[in-house]
Amino acid sequence: MTPFAAAPDPSAAGQLALGVVLAAAGFVLLLPKPRGRSVAGGTAALLVAAVVLGLWSHRSFGDPGADWVEKGLFILFSTGAVGFGAVLVAQRNPARGAIAFAFVVLSTCGLFLLLAAPFLMAATVIIYAGAIIVTFLFVLMLSQAAGPSDENDRTREPLLGSLAGFAFAGLVLFALQHNHAGAAPLPAATLTADEKAKLADVAARLEPLAADDFYRPDVPKQGRVAQLNAIEQEVGPTLEKVVGDSPGRLEGYAAAGSIRERLGAYRTDTQARTVLARAAAVRDAAYPALRAVETAVTEPGRGDPEGAKAGIRRLRDEVRLLSGSGELPARNVGNLGLVVYADYLLAVELAGTLLLVATVGAVAIAHRRPATA
């Protein structure tokens, strides 16, 4: 059995293998050593490998996106991260390596921004900026290399090390390619873009129902009742469609593909199930909320405008959450804090303890003992 027999597209797998081998060869040439180092050859091999792998990525996973700005930024940051990473590894001078690592971190932060993680971007910049400055100080303090030195001008097992590292990366990429072939983007399929737009529209139209004006007795009832009915006409069928289809959608997932894929679908489907359950809840809550509003409008004596308004607000929030499902919330820091301190409280405490212990340990280790010891 050849390894490529497992791949859905043998020629793409071959392309991947070519890129990985080229990259490994480039590093073998580029790594500092007393004899046989070729900067030009290594750089060329790495550039070719980058092009080959980029083409492979485009071929296997498609175009990064329709948005040119996003695409350009992604390409900029990812080539930046990978390229400066290569510089860090191949650079003889550790001080320059530290600068290259700073650029790696900045590129990573750019990718974090593209991934809607601004807080992580900020935290990484802050923490690594400090770490890199400290590292830089260490380099200046400890390695005043006047000439070639063992640690900077030699490498340990360049061939085996490069092969191991890129065999690892290549296998991961191969597994990605393989999995991409049969995978479906899960949460996106639960609600289509059209449905999401409709739900957002509904949320906007529910807004006036929560206002005080809507319940003023001096406004004619007919207009308001008509408005109410229109909303109901809109909300009901949309939700009915989402929820009513849902068993079919889930079945559709599960029925397609091999046992393994079905298992995968089942495992990763928790989010889809949550969305559907939420949609069902909204559908069930919509009718009584709207009825309460109708009662409050048509029979001012019997109805309870305050209760109706509260019900409408709850419904509106639920619809908004539903329409935004599959997207990250806008308030990144607040929601991240909520997740960290609600779901990962123990882990936070442990991480804090770990930091404390590490601080004590670092002080204890670096402490200069008296000469008698």
Partner 1 sequence: MSEPLGLAPAVLGLLLGATVVTALMAGAPRLRRFAHLPLVLACAASAGLAIWIVIQLSAGTPAYRSVPVTWFAAGNFAASAAITIDPLAAVMLATVTFVATWIAVFSAGYMRDEHGVPERGYARYFAVMGLFVFSMCGLVLADNFFLLVAFWEGVGVCSYLLVGYYYAKPSAAAAARKAFLVTRLGDTGFLLGIFLLWKLGGYHTDLTVLFEHIRTHPPDTGSLTTACLLIFCGAVGKSAQFPLYVWLPDAMEGPTPVSALIHAATMVTAGVYLVARCAPVFALVPDAQAVVAWAGGITALLAAVIALTQTDLKRVLAYSTVSQLGYMFLALGAMGAVSPVFAVTAAIFHLFTHAFFKALLFLGAGSVMHAMGGVIDTRRFGGLRRIMPVTHLTFLCGAAALAALPPTSGFWSKDLILEALRDGAETTHPYAGGLQALLLIGLVTAGLTAFYTFRAYFLTFWGQTRVPEEAGHHAHESPPVMTVPLLVLAVGALAAGAVAGPLTHSFDHFLERTPSLQQAATAVPGAKAPAHAFDWGLAGLSTLLAAGGVGLAAVLYAKGRPEKVPPGLEPVVALSRNKLYVDEVYEAALVKPLTGAAVAAGMFDRFLDSFGRLLASAPRLLGHLARPVQNGLVQFYALGMAAGVVVLLSFVAFRIAR
Partner 2 sequence: MIPVWHYLVVAALLFGIGLVGFLTRRNLITMFLCAEMMLQGVAINFAAFARYHGNLHGQAVVLFILAVAACEAGIALALFLMLYRRGRTLDASVWQALREVGVPPTVDPDPLPAADPGPPDPVLTPAGRRPAPTAEEAARV
- How deeply is 194 buried, as exposed, middle or buried, from its count of CB atoms within 10 A (0-12, 13-18, 19+)? exposed
With binding defined as CB under 8 A, does residue 172 bind partner 1? Answer: yes
Which residue in 27, 174, 214, 253 binds partner 1 (CB under 8 A)?
Answer: 174
Q: What 3-state class would DSSP assign to 20? A: helix
3-state secondary structure of 149: coil
Footprint of partner 2 on residues 20-59 (CB under 8 A)?
Answer: 24, 27, 31, 33-35, 53, 57
Which among partner 2, partner 1, none contacts residue 6 (Cβ within 5 to 8 A by kind)? partner 1
Q: Do residues 272 and 190 make contact, with C-beta atoms less than 8 angstroms apart? A: yes
- Please report how close the Cβ of residue 368 comes to partner 1 at its closest, in angstroms: 25
Alpha-carbon gap, residue 119 to 238, rounded angstroms: 35
Considering only residues 57 to 116 of the shown chain, the ones binding partner 2 according to CB under 8 A are 57, 60-62, 64-65, 67, 70-71, 74, 78, 81-82, 85-86, 88-89, 94, 97-98, 101, 104-105, 108, 111-112, 114-116
Among positions 41, 161, 257, 307, the unique one binding partner 2 when judged by CB under 8 A: 161
Q: How far apart are CA 82 and CA 325, in angstroms?
A: 33
- Considering the rule CB under 8 A, would residue 154 count as an interface residue with partner 2? yes
Instruction: Give least dist CB 251 to partner 1, A.
Output: 26
Distance CA 372, CA 162 (A): 45
Q: Residue 231 or residue 323: which is nearer to partner 2 going by CB?
A: 323
- 120: tokens are 């992580």
Please list, residue by residue across 106-129, b when 16 or more beta carbons sit within 10 angstroms of its beta carbon and e when fewer do: bbbbbbbeeeebeebbeebbeebe
User: How far apart are CB 114 and partner 2 at their closest, in Å?
Assistant: 7
Q: Which is nearer to partner 2, 165 or 303 (CB)?
A: 165
C-alpha to C-alpha distance for 289 and 283, rounded to whole angstroms: 10
Looking at 11, 229, 233, 335, which residue binds partner 2 (CB under 8 A)?
335
358 is an interface residue for partner 2 by CB under 8 A: yes
| Of the candidates 72, 135, 60, the residue with the CA atom closest to the CA atom of residue 102 | 135
Q: Is 187 in the site for partner 2 (CB under 8 A)?
A: yes
Dig out the tokens for 64 from the structure: 């990064």
Q: Which stretch binds partner 1 (CB under 8 A): 41-49, 85-93, 159-167, 276-284?
A: 159-167
- Minimum Å gap between C-beta 245 and partner 2 is 20
Instruction: CB nearer to partner 2: give 62 or 223.
Output: 62
Stretch that binds partner 2, among 165-173, 227-235, 276-284, 309-317 (CB under 8 A): 165-173
**Residue 370 touches partner 2, criterion: CB under 8 A:** no
For the segment 233-292, give every residue that binds partner 2 (CB under 8 A).
Answer: 271
User: What's the Cα-to-Cα distance from 325 to each of 51, 190, 231, rounded to whole Å?
Assistant: 37, 9, 21
Nearest to 32 by CA among 149, 139, 164, 167: 149
**How many angstroms separate the CA atoms of 145 and 207, rounded?**
69
- C-beta closer to partner 1: residue 134 or 171: 171
Q: Which of 1, 5, 40, 146 binds partner 2 (CB under 8 A)?
A: 146
Which of 23, 152, 14, 19 is closest to 85 using CA atoms? Answer: 23
> Residue 266's CB: how many other CB atoms inside 10 A?
13
Backbone angle region of 36, left / alpha / beta, with phi > 0 → left and psi within -120 to 50 → alpha: left
Rounded to the nearest whole angstrom, what is the least distance from the CB of residue 94 to partner 1 in the complex? 16
x-or-dash string of contact with partner 2, 214-233, rule CB under 8 A: --------------------
Contact with partner 1 (CB under 8 A): which of 160, 211, 354, 362?
160
| Close Cβ partners of 315 (under 8 Å, ≥ 6 residues apart) | 206, 282, 285, 286, 289
6 binds partner 1 (CB under 8 A): yes
Pick from 13, 25, 42, 155 the residue near partner 2 by CB under 8 A.
155
Which positions lie near partner 1, rule CB under 8 A?
Answer: 1, 3, 6, 156-157, 160-161, 164-165, 167-168, 171-172, 174-175, 178-179
